[in-house]
Structure 1
Amino acid sequence: MTSKAPSGHFRHLIIAGVLVTCFTAIFYIYYKPSMSWMPCTDKPQPDVCTEACLNVIANKTENTQEKMQAVTTVEPSKDHLPEIVVLIWYWPFGEHFDLNSCESIYGIKSCRLTDDRGQFDQAHAVMFHIRDIGGDLPSLLAMSRPPRQKWVWMDMESPTYSPKLIGAEDLFNLTSNFRRDSDIWIPYGRLVEISDEDEPFQMPQKDKLVCWIVSHWNDNHRRVGFFNEFSKHINVEGYGRHFNRLIDPQDYNKVMSSCKFYLSFENSIHKYYITEKVFNPMRLGTVPVVLGPPRENYEEIIPKDSFIHVDDFQTPQELAEHLKALDQNQEMYERFFSWRKDYVAKSSVFGQEHACYICDHLRKFRSFSIVKDVNKWYFS
Structure 2
Amino acid sequence: NWTSLRPILISIVVVLPYCPAFLSAAMDAERDTILLIWMWPFGFRFDLNCNDFNISRCHLTNDKNLYHKAHGILFHHRDINGQLSNMPKLPRPSFQKWVWFNMESPANSNLIPGLNQVFNLTCSYRLDSDIPVPYGYLEPVTSEDESFKLPAKDKLVCWIVSNWNPKYKRVEYYNELKKHVEIHIYGKAFGKKLSDQEYSDILLSCKFYLSFENSISRDYITEKLYNPMGKGSVPIALGPTRQMYEDHIPADSFIHVNDFSTPKELAQRLLYLDQNHSEYMRFFNWTSMFKVKGTHLGRDHACKTCKYLQNHRGYQAVNDLNGWYWG
- The answer to whether TM tops 0.5 is yes
Deviations 1:292-340 (CA, angstroms, capped at 9, x unpaired)? 0010100011000000000010110110010000000010000000000
1:191 to 2:153 alignment: no
Please say which structure displays the higher CA radius of gyration: 1
Pick one of 252, 269, 291 that aligns with 1:322: 269
* 1:98 paired residue number: 47
Paired amino acid for 1:167: G
- Pairwise CA distance, 1:138: 4.5
- Pairwise CA distance, 1:258: 0.8
* 2:38 paired residue number: 89
Structure 2: gaps spanning 5 or more residues: 7-28
- Pairwise CA distance, 1:246: 1.7
* 1:114 paired residue number: 61
- Pairwise CA distance, 1:254: 1.6
Paired amino acid for 2:283: F
In the aligned structure 2, how far is the partner of 1:287 from the partner of 1:96?
Answer: 32
Task: Note the 1:16-165 alignment, pairs <5 A.
Answer: 82-100=31-49, 102=50, 104-135=51-82, 137-138=84-85, 140=87, 142-165=89-112
* 1:332 paired residue number: 279
> Alignment partner of 1:167: what SS?
helix
- Pairwise CA distance, 1:213: 0.3
Paired amino acid for 1:261: F
* 2:176 paired residue number: 229
- How big is the alpha-carbon RMSD for the aligned residues of Structure 1 and Structure 2? 1.7
In the aligned structure 1, how far is the partner of 2:217 from the partner of 2:121?
Answer: 21
Paired amino acid for 2:35: V
Deviations 1:268-305 (CA, angstroms, capped at 9, x unpaired)? 00010000000001111110000000101000110000
In the aligned structure 2, how far is the partner of 1:359 from the partner of 1:170?
Answer: 22
In the aligned structure 2, how far is the partner of 1:197 from the partner of 1:127?
Answer: 36
In the aligned structure 2, how far is the partner of 1:322 from the partner of 1:178?
Answer: 31
- Pairwise CA distance, 1:360: 0.3
- Pairwise CA distance, 1:136: 5.3
> Alignment partner of 2:273: what SS?
helix
Q: Is the 8 A contact 1:85 1:124 kept in 2?
A: yes
In the aligned structure 2, how far is the partner of 1:139 from the partner of 1:245?
Answer: 37
In the aligned structure 2, how far is the partner of 1:188 from the partner of 1:237?
Answer: 25
Cα distance, 1:139–1:212 mapped onto 2, change above 3 Å:
closer
* 2:308 paired residue number: 361
Paired amino acid for 1:375: N
Paired amino acid for 2:280: Y
> Alignment partner of 2:207: what SS?
strand
Paired amino acid for 1:268: S
Q: Is the 8 A contact 2:80 2:87 kept in 1?
A: no
Paired amino acid for 2:324: W
- Pairwise CA distance, 1:367: 0.5
Higher relative contact order (CA 8 A, sep 6+): 2
Q: Is the 8 A contact 1:141 1:168 kept in 2?
A: no
**% same residue:** 49
* 1:269 paired residue number: 216
Pick one of 186, 200, 211 that aligns with 2:158: 211
TM-score normalised per structure 1? 0.77
> Alignment partner of 1:176: what SS?
strand
Deviations 1:212-266 (CA, angstroms, capped at 9, x unpaired)? 0001000110000000010011111100011112211122222111100000000
Cα distance, 1:90–1:310 mapped onto 2, change above 3 Å:
same
Q: Is the 8 A contact 1:176 1:184 kept in 2?
A: yes
> Alignment partner of 1:137: what SS?
coil
Paired amino acid for 2:96: Q
1:313 to 2:260 alignment: yes
- Pairwise CA distance, 1:167: 1.9
TM-score normalised per structure 2? 0.90
In the aligned structure 1, how far is the partner of 2:184 from the partner of 2:100?
Answer: 38
> Alignment partner of 1:196: what SS?
coil
Q: Is the 8 A contact 1:206 1:258 kept in 2?
A: yes
Aligned length: 303
> Alignment partner of 2:211: what SS?
strand
In the aligned structure 1, how far is the partner of 2:255 from the partner of 2:306?
Answer: 36
1:296 to 2:243 alignment: yes
Q: Is the 8 A contact 2:103 2:124 kept in 1?
A: yes
Q: Is the 8 A contact 1:223 1:266 kept in 2?
A: yes
1:281 to 2:228 alignment: yes
In the aligned structure 1, how far is the partner of 2:76 from the partner of 2:92?
Answer: 18
In the aligned structure 2, how far is the partner of 1:144 from the partner of 1:375?
Answer: 23
Pick one of 172, 180, 183 that aligns with 2:119: 172
In the aligned structure 2, how far is the partner of 1:206 from the partner of 1:141?
Answer: 53
* 2:319 paired residue number: 372
Q: Is the 8 A contact 2:80 2:86 kept in 1?
A: no
* 1:220 paired residue number: 167
Q: Is the 8 A contact 2:82 2:112 kept in 1?
A: no
